[in-house]
Amino acid sequence: MRHLMGVLGVLAAGVLLAVSAAMNWRFGYSLGKTELDGIIYGSASAAADCLKALVPFFFFAAIRNKMWSQAAAALLVGVVCTAYSLTSALGHAALNRLDTTGQRQVQAQTYKDVRSDLARAQEQLGWVPQHRPVGVVQSDLDNAQNQRPWGWTKGCTDVQGKQGRDFCQSYHAMTAELAAGREAEKLTVRISELSGKLSSATGSAAMAEADPQAAVLAKLSGLSIDTVQIVMTIFIALLLEVGSGLGMFIAFSQWRMYDELAPAAPVMASIATPVITAAVAVAAPVREAAPAQISAKPRSGANDNKSAPAPQRLMAPETDVERFYKESVQTQDGSSMTATELYEEYCAWCEEKEKEPLALPTFGREFGELGVQKAKLGGRVRYIGIALKGARDAEEDKKLPAFKDKAA
């Protein structure tokens, strides 16, 4: 589960880092006057953004190793790179938001204008009088021009007599009806075109606000839309910078990069001697052994010690846990220590020796390999048969006055 969380964290942080680097590249590229200048600025911006993500590793590693000058340099580089990357992210986010908002505003205004034109055309169509189809009216006019009154009146330019006046009046009425029909046709075509534009418009064009998010936040907060847009731009830039800068460092913490791996306890060659009744397998460095842990040596003669060769043991490099056991812990019947107390003493020993202590689980695993008996008593893990060397000395100091009184 820990590895799965670490992998998912690295993937998420990698996406944020890639997006942030791309934003810095685009903004840096836009600053160049020529294509080469744009590539130079863009590459520098992307490299600074990637270095920003590595600075936390360098900074805390330098602190851990007590390399203060390197830590100060890493901090300075991190501040400069983060500041530059933040300004680039702010510039890109502002340009992108303003450009998108401007396009939406133009689309929304165009949508409103089309709707206004459509309403006006529909209103004008309602003003057009009732009329017959244009083709029918045009046919009646052509027939009227073939009648005899059309010649008497010279095309209704010289009207005389009642018959001529009636004919011309009817002719002019048909002319007006033809004009109304043609106007209605033009308005119908116009309405059809405007309706087609409205039906093809996207949802963003039909929005009442060019930036709906800023409009809603402005109503909730009581701020102006411009102020809300600035705050949202800063928030987006901070999201990318913080996520890309610290995401990798947080994700890699799942694998405990700074824990020191203790070497496995070496297995020593067992040596059988006439004086030792059983083979001894040494899994840890030589330490002070309790009398009960060493088998009694039979004494058969005065020359036994000379004839029996001394057992040879291969020694392995001591780990910090083994050195702590050898220097600070001793066997003592009837004594026990909790795992927490033992780990606190180990941390104090490491601080005194200027060493980096292992994590509690790692320390418990290595200390258990030394062969100390462990049991769970009262819901707490305790190591049986051991005590701190300082604790026995303190007990002996307390007993000294009593011996003096008895001797007196």
Give me the pLDDT at residue 235, please: 80
Alpha helices in 283-375 (DSSP H): 304-307, 320-328, 339-353, 360-368
Phi, psi angles (nearest 5°) of residue 45: -65, -45
Give me the pLDDT at residue 192, please: 92
- Report the alpha-carbon distance of residue 38 to residue 101 in Å, rounded: 26
Give me the pLDDT at residue 277, please: 35
What pLDDT, in 10s, does the model give residues 56-112?
888 888 888 888 998 899 899 888 888 888 887 777 777 777 677 777 777 777 888
Give me the pLDDT at residue 184, please: 92
What pLDDT, in 10s, does the model give residues 221-280?
888 878 887 888 888 777 877 877 787 787 777 665 554 444 444 444 444 444 333 333
232: Cα separation from own chain's centroid: 18
Task: Report the 10 Å Cβ neighbour count for 316.
Answer: 17
* Confidence grade of residue 216 (pLDDT, cut at 50, 70, 90): confident
CA distances from 33 to 93, 121, 279 (A): 21, 50, 82
Lowest mean pLDDT among 173-177, 189-193, 199-203, 294-298: 294-298
Whether 337 and 382 have beta carbons less than 8 Å apart is answered as: yes
With 80 as the cut, is the pLDDT of residue 208 above it? no
* Confidence grade of residue 298 (pLDDT, cut at 50, 70, 90): very low
Whether 251 and 13 have beta carbons less than 8 Å apart is answered as: yes
Task: Report the 10 Å Cβ neighbour count for 25.
Answer: 22
Kindly report the pTM of this predicted structure. 0.39
What pLDDT, in 10s, does the model give residues 309-354?
555 555 556 788 888 888 889 888 888 889 888 899 999 999 998 8
Largest Cα separation within the chain, whole Å, is 173
Whether 316 and 264 have beta carbons less than 8 Å apart is answered as: no
CA distances from 60 to 10, 223, 250, 324 (A): 19, 41, 12, 26
Q: How many residues does the chain have?
A: 408
Most confident of the ranges 22-36, 139-153, 203-217, 270-284: 139-153
Report the SS3 class of residue 131: coil
With 60 as the cut, is the pLDDT of residue 303 above it? no
Q: What is the mean pLDDT of the chain?
A: 76
Whether 121 and 187 have beta carbons less than 8 Å apart is answered as: yes
Tokens of 368: 């258990």
Report the SS3 class of residue 284: coil
What is the C-alpha R_g of the chain?
48
Q: Look up residue 203 and give its DSSP letter.
A: T
With 90 as the cut, is the pLDDT of residue 179 above it? yes
